[in-house]
């Protein structure tokens, strides 16, 4: 780790990702942002500022999307490009150079990445634990001839300071809870100390392009994506616009309409204010957990009312990141606990009276009306209420030929249609549904000792029958 990074929580957030030296002939500190797509409270940028101030170099921020990524679709890439746009607009206000690109698969398209890396003194990037994030990091490390610093910018408490081998949620909650106030204070110290005024951007940076998405309109982003060789089946979500304006509005709604009642209303998807719907914005790093926690603390709501939201947001979200960090196979069926695999496979030959084709499952055309409504909501909007996700993930075992195929299809839907998919929280949720939890009260057909879940409680909640019926209405 660079010796100058001693402010606040940076010593615990920054690690060297390789054993290469800092390149003394570099023209800038290169900041590669994949999922920390924000300017404020960004430990990646702050650690780069600390290094740039010592070397008297400017900063160059870079983000890219790859047309060839397996999950590339209109829905996911429109949201990501919207987040790119908000990022570069904020960087412009700080006079920070930013290059953004959508990497095309055509051979004649020049790959900017290695050319920009070549002139970098050092590289800073956000460290995320999923296999998708690790694949992008490998591409960076393969090109780098200088030090690549990995920065934990997405958790309230850095993953590496937590004890290893925490096996249960209560154990994690205790270890994590003891560190929250300390790292909230250290994070504030770093953010307030490492400001853009510490570095100069007067040095001219020689770039092969200065392209970014700051001046793209919504229509121009849509036109760009229409010309790309990506999945056009999953449409852009009108319900979840990737803008700072929308993010600010949702945080205000959380403060004014949700926090005080969250404990009692959080399980009813039919209620307008039962959940914050902030997960896509957290996934793409448009807001940090520290920023969101500060907004919760600012709300005129007693802590006795906000504790449940805090627990879901702090304990369960960060617990999922911890699990993925230590389980590289969490996205695979083989990443499930051995006991869950064993009992599911023992029932793999059970009769499946509701076996449904893959196409009908994806389109929400199964024998289960509640499941169909949930799937159609997810398919049409890119977001699904967590309580319904729990039911959804349990039932998919009934419709698919084998437990392995159920897991594969659940991950496919999570990865391809969900704005907050490809995320530690969503993989941990699927793991829970497939048996990474307490066993059921008895051995069941299809599920074995994995606890099933019915929709009886869902159907009793106010407005849910109408909610389900509305989503199952035939399209005109």
Residue 327, beta-bridge partner list: none
Report how far residue 202's alpha carbon sits from residue 199's, in angstroms, rounded to the nearest whole number: 9
Confidence of residue 107 (pLDDT cuts 50, 70, 90): low
Superfamily for 333-465?
Answer: DNA Cyclobutane Dipyrimidine Photolyase, subunit A, domain 3 (1.10.579.10)
Where are any strands of DSSP class E within 252-363? Answer: none
How confident is the model at residue 476, as a pLDDT? 65
What distance in Å separates the CA atoms of residue 254 and residue 275, rounded to the nearest whole number? 8
Distances (CA, A) of 161 to 9, 13, 15, 176: 11, 9, 12, 9
User: How sure is the predictor about 109, in pLDDT bands with cuts at 50, 70 and 90?
Assistant: low
Query: How do residues 232-260 score in pLDDT, each as one tens digit?
Result: 999 999 999 999 999 999 999 999 999 99
How far from 73 is each of 84, 214, 230, 231, CA to CA, in Å? 16, 21, 5, 4
pLDDT tens per residue, range 29-52: 999 999 999 999 999 999 999 999
Exposure b/e, 262-293, CB count within 10 A at least 16 = b: bbebbbbbbbebbbbbbbbbbbbbbbbbbbbb
Residue 1, pLDDT score: 43
> Confidence class of residue 350 from pLDDT cuts 50, 70 and 90?
very high
Q: Is pLDDT of 134 > 60?
A: yes
Do the Cβ atoms of 406 and 400 come closer than 8 Å?
yes
pLDDT level of residue 3 (50, 70, 90 thresholds)? very low
42-95 tens-digit pLDDT: 999 999 999 999 999 999 999 999 999 999 999 999 999 999 999 999 999 999
Number of residues written out for the chain: 476
Question: Which of 159-168, 188-197, 463-472 has the lowest average pLDDT?
Answer: 188-197
In this predicted structure, the answer to whether residue 2 has a pLDDT above a threshold of 70 is no
Task: Write the pLDDT tens digit of every residue in 361-412.
Answer: 999 999 999 999 999 999 999 999 999 999 999 999 999 999 999 999 999 9
Q: Read off the pLDDT of each residue in 195-203 and give the average, rounded to a whole number.
A: 79
What is the value of pTM for the model shown? 0.95
Q: Is the pLDDT of residue 4 over 80?
A: no
The three-class DSSP label of residue 328 is: coil
> What percentage of the chain reaches a pLDDT higher than 90?
89
Please report the pLDDT score of residue 90 as a whole number: 97
Q: Is 228 helix (H, G, I), strand (E, B) or coil?
A: coil
pLDDT band at 202 (very low <50, low <70, confident <90, very high): low
pLDDT digits (tens, 9 = 90+) for 272-300: 999 999 999 999 999 999 999 999 999 98
What pLDDT score was predicted for residue 205? 84
Burial environment of residue 161 by CB neighbours within 10 A (0 to 12, 13 to 18, 19 or more): middle
Is the model's pLDDT at 108 over the cut of 60?
no
Listed residue (362, 360, 357, 356) closest to 378, CA to CA: 362
Determine whether 386 is exposed, middle or buried from the number of CB atoms within 10 Å of its CB (0-12, 13-18, 19+).
middle
Mean pLDDT, the chain, rounded, equals 94
């Amino acid at each position: 780790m660079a010796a100058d990074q001693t402010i606040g929580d940076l010593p615990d957030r920054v690690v060297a990702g390789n054993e290469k030296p800092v390149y003394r002939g570099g023209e800038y500190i290169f900041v590669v942002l994949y999922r920390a797509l924000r300017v404020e409270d960004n430990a990646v940028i702050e650690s780069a500022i600390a290094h740039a101030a010592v070397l008297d170099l400017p900063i160059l921020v870079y983000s890219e999307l790859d047309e060839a990524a397996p999950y590339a679709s209109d829905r996911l890439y429109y949201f990501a490009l919207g987040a790119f746009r908000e990022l570069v607009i904020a960087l412009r206000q700080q006079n920070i150079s930013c290059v953004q690109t959508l990497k095309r698969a055509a051979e004649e398209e020049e790959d900017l990445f290695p050319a920009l890396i070549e002139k970098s003194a050092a590289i800073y990037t956000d460290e995320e634990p999923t296999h998708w994030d690790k694949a992008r990091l490998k591409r960076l490390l393969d090109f780098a001839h200088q030090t690549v610093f990995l920065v934990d910018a997405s958790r309230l408490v850095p993953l590496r300071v937590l004890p290893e081998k925490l096996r249960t949620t209560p154990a994690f909650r205790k270890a994590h809870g003891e560190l929250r106030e300390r790292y909230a204070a250290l994070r504030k110290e770093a953010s307030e100390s490492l400001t853009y005024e510490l570095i100069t951007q007067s040095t001219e940076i020689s770039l092969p392009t200065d392209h970014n998405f700051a001046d793209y309109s919504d229509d121009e982003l849509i036109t760009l994506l229409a010309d790309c060789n990506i999945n056009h089946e999953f449409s852009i979500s009108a319900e979840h616009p990737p803008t700072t304006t929308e993010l600010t509005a949702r945080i205000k709604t959380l403060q004014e309409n949700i926090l005080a009642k969250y404990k009692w209303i959080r399980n009813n998807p039919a209620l307008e204010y039962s959940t914050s719907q902030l997960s896509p914005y957290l996934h793409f790093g448009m807001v940090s957990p520290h920023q969101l926690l500060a907004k919760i603390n600012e709300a005129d709501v007693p802590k006795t009312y906000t504790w449940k939201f805090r627990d879901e947001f702090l304990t369960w979200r960060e617990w999922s990141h911890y699990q993925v960090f230590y389980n590289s196979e969490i996205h695979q069926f083989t990443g499930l606990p051995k006991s869950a695999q064993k009992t599911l496979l023992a029932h793999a030959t059970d009769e499946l009276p509701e076996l449904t084709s893959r196409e009908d499952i994806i389109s929400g055309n199964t024998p289960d009306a509640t499941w169909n409504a949930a799937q159609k909501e997810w398919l049409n909007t890119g977001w699904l209420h967590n309580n319904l996700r729990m039911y959804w993930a349990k039932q998919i075992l009934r419709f698919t030929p084998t437990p392995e195929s159920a897991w594969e299809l659940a991950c496919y839907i999570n990865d391809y249609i969900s704005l907050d998919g490809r995320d530690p929280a969503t993989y941990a949720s699927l793991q829970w549904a497939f048996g990474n939890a307490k066993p059921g009260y008895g051995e069941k057909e299809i599920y074995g000792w994995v606890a099933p879940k019915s929709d009886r409680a869902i159907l009793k909640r106010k407005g849910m029958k109408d909610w389900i019926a509305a989503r199952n209405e035939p399209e005109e």
